[in-house]
Structure 1
Amino acid sequence: MAIKKRPISPRQKMINLMYVVLMAMLAMNVSTQVLDGFSIVEESLQRSTDNSAKENQSIYGNFAEQMKSNPEKVREWFEKATAVKRMSDSLYNFAQELKVEIVREADGADGDIHNIERKDDLEAASHVMLAPGTGKGKKLFDAINSFRERILKMVPDASQHKIIAGNLSTTLPKKAKTMGKNWQEYMFEDMPVAAAVTLLTKLQNDVRYAEGEVLHTLVANIDMKDIRVNKLSAFVIPNAQTIVRGDKFSAQIVMAAVDTTQQPKIYIGGRQMNLRNNTYEIVTGRTGEFNLAGYITMQNGQGDVIRRDFTQKYTVVDPSATVSADLMNVLYAGYTNPISISIPGVPLNKVTASMSGGTLQPVGPGKYIARPAAVGKDVTITVMSTTTGHPRQMGQFTFHVRKLPDPTAYLAIGTNRYRGGGLAKASLMGSHEVKAAIDDGLLDIQFKVLSFETVFFDNMGNAVPMASAGASFSERQKNAFRGLPRNRRFYISRVTAVGPDGIKRTLPSSMEVIVK
């Protein structure tokens, strides 16, 4: 779709010159014969605009055909061309509506822009474009500015950029500024109908010209996106360089760039291969490092045979996998046991796993949460590889399932966990509840304390037990704390707690507290 840009024709230059001359004569207040001259210019401008529109439409048609035959290549530029057409038609049609409205304002509802009767009417254009509240001059001013800004972003050529910017300029001359007029007043105030219609026709001509320039640029960009190749090389593209024994090693062998009109000849081990889609496959039967080597041949445009050698190393390994429990060597029933799973040489997103006797939930690449269902029943984790597109078992791993061990009761004293011994009375009074947790350096699992009791001894040596208020010290217990002298002992015992496994248990050990 090679469409060359064309310079402005002598005819178009003459039309532009006639328009400038007639506008100057109008400013001199010449006879109505000059107004007839505007009709001549308007007709010439309209013919030029129609020719530009036909040429632009031809380019749009070529874009549509190219889009059907090669959408991947053309889509970006086709969508831009569609956007150019949409914005150009919008401004063009708006100018056409204004022409019709001005003529009908002058000649009545049956007014015809192709046969204007009151060409010298000085009120019609002013009323349509400048009437307070209903005048459309400001809207046209904004539409031209918006169109110019958007269309110029698509014009990389500096000279064309300057021409389009000049044609669509809304900058006022110094004379108009000194008169205190805005753009629409300068263009349409006391403007005869014939001149106003010609002015709008010229705007339409400028719109189609700018539209055509952008379309030629977009057409050129389609060809610019083509890659020009000046070097040919052979490549082997394997599906993986590390293969598990028993799996297939698959590699695509190509010469860059590939000519779709002819298929290259591929030789491996001195023997020509008949490969489907240029893809080489072989079932790997033993482990070790291997080398796929050969050469590829293809004819160039002159009929000469071009040869390129290729080589690709790959490794075959035995099936293997690793499964490690992040925090422990066993799994605990009813607990979210973190598990890491990997296979040497296999990407984590190609590794899957399942578990019998519970659930195994993936939480990230290579990371899982194992939840065994029952205590005492072993679970088995099966690891699979999907590097070849088909799941392949890489190993099975069995874990014993145990109940969570009993936690240890403690008092939270600041950031420390107090488990017995000397304790300042102020710290004791500042503590409000008993907590419990497994905290053995590997696990840190909190339990919910349901109840406990404190045991005090009176002066006669009699034990005085006091029940808690759930996990918190009761008011009776707190009152007893206040009356304890230094070095008096008491015990926190019969702590009942429930863990994340849902098992309720009473801790067998007591916490001895010595008031200091």
Structure 2
Amino acid sequence: MAGGKVSARQKMINLMYLVFIAMLAMQMDKEVLSAFGFMNEKLETNNVSTTEKNNRAYANLETKASEQTEKFGELNNQAKKIKSYSSDFYAYLSDLKLKMTADLEDKTAYESMDKTEFLNSYFFIGDNYTEQGQEFLNKIDSYRKNLINVLGENSRFTPIIKDRFDTEPVINSKTGLTVEWLNARYEGFPLVASLTNLTQMQADIKNTEADIVNTLLGGKLEEALSLNNYKGIVALDKNAYFAGEKVTGKIVLGRYDAEMVPDNVILNGSDYKNIQSGQVIIDMPAGNVGNHDIKGKISFTQDGKKVEVPFESSYSVIPEPGNAVVSADKMNVVYRGLDNPISVSLPGVSDNNLKVSATGGSLSGSNGKYSLKPGAGGTATIVVSATLSSGKSVNSKATFRIKDIPAAMGSVRDQYGIVRMPKSGLANSPISAGLPDFEFDLDIRVQSFKIKVPGELTIIVDGTTLSAAAKKVLEKAQRGDIINIYDIKATANGVNINQVLPVNIELTN
């Protein structure tokens, strides 16, 4: 820390700082040092376990890529890049840890690892960084950028990767001053604390690999890799036919995966060859009025063995219809305050010959595609009438339950629940709300919210971003504090949302 050419004043400051660190070290509780050491041991054990699990996932993906190149080939290439980047960075950190403890006879004598000299001189020279210190920062930045390049900037894991491997300057919670990341994390810390910090970074590498390989690359890779989780599905163009018509449709795997190409298909006891893009294309006479079965099996190769996936379905050949078919495009309910898409059809009758009306709401649209906006009641009914080619009149209706828009969820940076982020990020990030599992595309706008900092009064904020008063209270929060954003008021497509669940922010600095 005192190396290089510096002024006499700077040398004096450095000397005083060293004296301060020495005094702090003398007062350091030996049990605290031991606690760091035991934590380091647990992290290293966990890293070994996570590495074994990751290797099995990589191996499974490698096997599937050899059997189904079209489906798993590109995913396997991405996984190889992630594994290579992670292994290189992990090995670099392991080598650095070995250098830190090279002069120690007993690597588990944690109570004696209270010195700060190694990283102080290895990373820092005067007010600048050594070549090794800059290399350490470059390694972290390079790893973060390489992973994001593989996954894409819009990946769900990109914010997590940026947070885990962030090297931006941090704000000292006590002084309020901005401190360079490397200084804040490694300058003046006991050896055992820095050692544990590096092991935690290795754990972040392993956990990041596990998150990506087991979730992102496979969309829950364990499910994707097992054909036992697939089901043969007969997807007919319609499930009832007039006498003399042809039955048309497809037989597909449950995922409708065009890249899963079967070895062979048995349909109703015979080999079937009409296979296109992983789909078995059905094209055969419908038969007489009555019920008919479609069944068989699709064969694939998995782990070098033949795996048969059975499928079975049935269809009915019916005479002219007597009732219309009405279905909600989104769900079996309609939502108050929204334009709910409704499809209306009647087999044998063209859409423009249908007469469609509604009670319990207003209806708009034509030619089989309508939009229903429910009223204040509890149900809405679609009424359909038509005249068949035989001259027979048909009348039918369908009733839907009317529900309010469900509770939304508060969010920051498109993250829900408990969000880990720095204080500066929260101060500049807008508060949003969303319905992650809702089928409709809604324009949700936050009108106001309340923010509660531990030990401080609740602040009411109008709009989406923190007011000056809220930022002032936020400045008093410390690392690890949970900031509660609640009582969020919002509208969806101009309609008030009855409830918006809170979002909590755990401060990382």
Which TM-score tier does this pair reach, normalised by the shorter chain?
A: 0.3 to 0.5
TM-score (norm 2): 0.39
Larger relative contact order (Cα-Cα within 8 Å, sequence gap ≥ 6): 2
TM-score (norm 1): 0.39
